[in-house]
């Protein structure tokens, strides 16, 4: 899969700026995932009640399995890329 970005912010950046953006994005994404894990450990409910049936229960379980970590990861990567390429 090949993605071509036509954003002026990305087109105007040099190779080294893009490389630094990937490195900073990866590090901040990792930190965001660690923070998301901490939030998950703090806020994860012991018991879940639902009125939606089995699929609602599966959705809630999947969210608490990986939701906060993924949200932190995406936020960290986006922040790291934007800080360098801006």
CA 25 – CA 66 distance, rounded (Å): 20
- The CA–CA distances, whole Å, from 17 to 21, 53, 61, 62 equal 6, 49, 39, 36
Question: Is residue 3 scored above 80 in pLDDT?
Answer: no
This prediction's pTM? 0.80
pLDDT tens digits along 28-65: 999 999 999 999 999 999 998 888 899 999 999 999 99
The residues, ordered by sequence, that sit 6+ positions from 52 with a Cβ below 8 Å of its Cβ are: 59
Judged on CB neighbours under 10 Å (0-12, 13-18, 19+), 31 is middle
């Amino acid at each position: 899969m090949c993605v071509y970005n036509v954003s002026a912010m990305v087109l105007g950046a040099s190779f080294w700026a893009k490389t630094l953006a990937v490195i900073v994005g990866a590090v901040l994404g990792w930190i965001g995932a660690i923070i998301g894990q901490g939030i998950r450990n703090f806020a994860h409910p012991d018991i879940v009640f639902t009125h939606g049936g089995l699929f609602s229960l599966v959705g809630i379980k999947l969210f608490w399995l990986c939701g906060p970590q993924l949200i932190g990861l995406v936020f960290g990567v986006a922040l790291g890329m934007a800080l360098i390429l801006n």
